[in-house]
Structure 1
Amino acid sequence: MATLIADEVIDVSAPETWPGPLASNLAELDRHVPHDDHPADLAIPQEGREAVKSALLGQHLLARHFTRLMPHEFDSIRSAGLQLPSQGFFDGRLDRAEALGYISQTVAQVLKDSTIFAAESQVRGDRNFVCLTIGPVLEEDAGAVSELLGTWGGEAIYFAAGARDHAQLLRTLGEPAVVQVALPPECVSRSRFFPAIENVLLGRMRGLPGAYGDVLSREAVRPYAIVAIRRLQ
């Protein structure tokens, strides 16, 4: 982890962390892109988008993963990082919760049978990514992450039909936490950003509210990229 911290890590919320080429490209966009109150709607030309993406090559990006964790899961993330979701991953998570007495065997099986990966006929779309955020989403719009912080298991479990009868139990398990990661360059280049990262950055430069977004990482976040895990009260 010491080597990673020594590198530059870009924090969308802190312009002082933006490297020179990135700051210069954004300043150029600031001079020419028409005003809009909403970062997602900023009409950035394609060449401007490409210039920002080029300036991000080789850079680490600070991102956050909002979740709810049982005590043993803090150490699991420190040792294994953030894994790509799969049926096997959630089966293991539920097995561990059952073994430690947090849930019954019956509840564990119901939840296994109804995750979004088990219920393929009910859920469409690609779900094989780690969900992260950039920017001050918790500070500006806590409601956007309230379900992630308030219900154990993540969307793959608590959105499943079988979880409805156990919603109250899932809200009592674990505690809210945020995992800070320095997303490595190979993850940044393969991730999907909503809205586009250049819109988020330009919105932050202009001081617009709502300059934050979702990141869908196609890569698992390895342990060396975990910066901190913080409990939230």
Structure 2
Amino acid sequence: MSERILDVWDVASFDPELRDMLGDHADLLRNYHATSRENLIQRELSDRTGPYPHNPFAADHIALAETLMTVMNQRIIRGWHYTRMTDVEVEQLRRDGVRLPSPASIRVRLDAQVAAGAFTAAEADALFAASPFQRGQSEIRSGRFWMVSHPLEIGDGGVELLLGNWGGEGVYFWLSDAALKARVAKLGRPRVVEVAAPLSKTPHGFSAAEAVMAAYARSLGCSVESKAFDLHVTDPLPANAILAVHTAGEPPFADLARGYPQTYVDADAGRWDELSAEIERRRR
């Protein structure tokens, strides 16, 4: 894609307009996060029976996020989709781009695997019948292609089942039959897809604003959590939105979030340890 693609966790990837807007509010970000950190420490040092300490910068911080939400909705970010796919499905993804899930799309995928000899027709029918799409969740699952805003290690518990089972939650989520579970666990290979996700096609502009604010605050030396978030697009994406497909056994799959991308640093790693050490120091 020709438009600039941002990583919400990497200030160096931000465009000049976004950096300038954040820079104009550097003092607010410093004051808000310094106060938040101190409030957390004071809360931990207290008996926790009183109200949580007030942050006088909170209202302005929320107002900035609301302003930046509009700005972020005009931008494209890199999303990370964890899944398990066959080689043929990867080729289709590269060729056709992102197509949104639905009961019909699940049926098409299952029928394709019957034709390829991976399932019998009866197994495909059983998998389709067991799908959440067929059991009351069609409305909340259809038309949403899910990603995460920050890369996760392949051993992360949040993506273990996605990488370990073909077809996504629309196939494996409520599957109880042991034989069918074994089938979907063997089909395809674990993949991580990098996607150029236009925030205008998502309802996550506010979360993206919070994430870039947190990233900028960290660049100022503030102690701030990652503000990672789940996101989904609600419209199909063209083939050029597929930036990369990483496959198990091929670099840099094993290095995701711990060396790849090179600019990624897990802002949450060790953060609570540092806070805990400061709390214990003040208790002495």
Q: Please, what TM-score do these two structures have when normalized by structure 1?
A: 0.82
Q: Is the 8 A contact 2:79 2:194 kept in 1?
A: yes
More relative contact order in 1 or in 2 (CA 8 Å, sep 6+)? 1
Paired residue secondary structure (1:212): coil
Q: Is the 8 A contact 2:192 2:245 kept in 1?
A: yes
Give 1:155 shift. 0.5
Q: Runs of at least 4 residues of structure 1 off by over 6 A?
A: none
Q: Which runs of 5+ in 1 are unaligned?
A: none
Question: What is residue 256 of structure 2 aligned with on the other side?
Answer: none
Paired residue secondary structure (1:126): helix
Paired residue secondary structure (1:7): coil
Question: What is residue 13 of structure 1 aligned with on the other side?
Answer: 9
Please say if 1:75 is aligned against 2:91. yes
The structure 2 residue matched to 1:87, chosen from 103, 126, 142, is 103
- Name the structure where strand makes up a greater proportion of residues: 1
Q: Which amino acid aligns with 2:210?
A: N
Q: Which one has a bigger Cα radius of gyration? A: 2
Question: What is residue 63 of structure 2 aligned with on the other side?
Answer: 47
Paired residue secondary structure (2:193): strand
Give 1:165 shift. 4.7
Question: What is residue 60 of structure 1 aligned with on the other side?
Answer: 76
Partners of 2:210 and 2:149 lie apart in 1 by 12
Q: Is the 8 A contact 1:134 1:215 kept in 2?
A: yes
Please say if 1:201 is aligned against 2:212. yes
Question: What is residue 159 of structure 1 aligned with on the other side?
Answer: 173
Q: Is the 8 A contact 1:64 1:179 kept in 2?
A: yes
Question: What is residue 188 of structure 2 aligned with on the other side?
Answer: 174
Partners of 1:222 and 1:11 lie apart in 2 by 20
Q: Is the 8 A contact 2:194 2:243 kept in 1?
A: yes
Give 1:210 shift. 3.9
Give 1:110 shift. 0.3
Q: Is the 8 A contact 2:202 2:234 kept in 1?
A: yes
Give 1:81 shift. 1.4
Partners of 2:70 and 2:9 lie apart in 1 by 20
Partners of 2:176 and 2:202 lie apart in 1 by 30
Partners of 1:16 and 1:8 lie apart in 2 by 12
Paired residue secondary structure (1:192): coil
Structure 1 residues 208 and 176: CA distance shift in structure 2, 3 A:
farther
Partners of 1:78 and 1:13 lie apart in 2 by 26
Structure 1 residues 159 and 43: CA distance shift in structure 2, 3 A:
farther
Question: What is residue 148 of structure 1 aligned with on the other side?
Answer: 162
Structure 1 residues 86 and 200: CA distance shift in structure 2, 3 A:
same
Query: Cα RMSD between the aligned structures?
Result: 2.7
Q: Please, what TM-score do these two structures have when normalized by structure 2?
A: 0.69
Q: Is the 8 A contact 1:65 1:178 kept in 2?
A: yes
Structure 1 residues 194 and 232: CA distance shift in structure 2, 3 A:
farther
Any idea what the Cα deviations from partners look like across 1:134-185, whole Å, max 9, x if unmatched?
123337x72211111111110011113465552122111110111111113x
Partners of 1:131 and 1:199 lie apart in 2 by 19
Question: What is residue 274 of structure 2 aligned with on the other side?
Answer: none
The structure 2 residue matched to 1:221, chosen from 232, 237, 241, is 237
Partners of 1:163 and 1:13 lie apart in 2 by 40
Question: What is residue 112 of structure 1 aligned with on the other side?
Answer: 128
Among all aligned residue pairs of Structure 1 and Structure 2, give the percentage whose two residues are the same amino acid.
Answer: 24
Please say if 1:134 is aligned against 2:149. yes
* Aligned residue pairs, count: 220
Q: Which amino acid aligns with 1:126?
A: I
Structure 1 residues 203 and 138: CA distance shift in structure 2, 3 A:
farther
Any idea what the Cα deviations from partners look like across 1:116-141, whole Å, max 9, x if unmatched?
12112xx48621211011123337x7
Partners of 1:15 and 1:196 lie apart in 2 by 16
Q: Is the 8 A contact 1:21 1:55 kept in 2?
A: no
Partners of 1:163 and 1:92 lie apart in 2 by 21
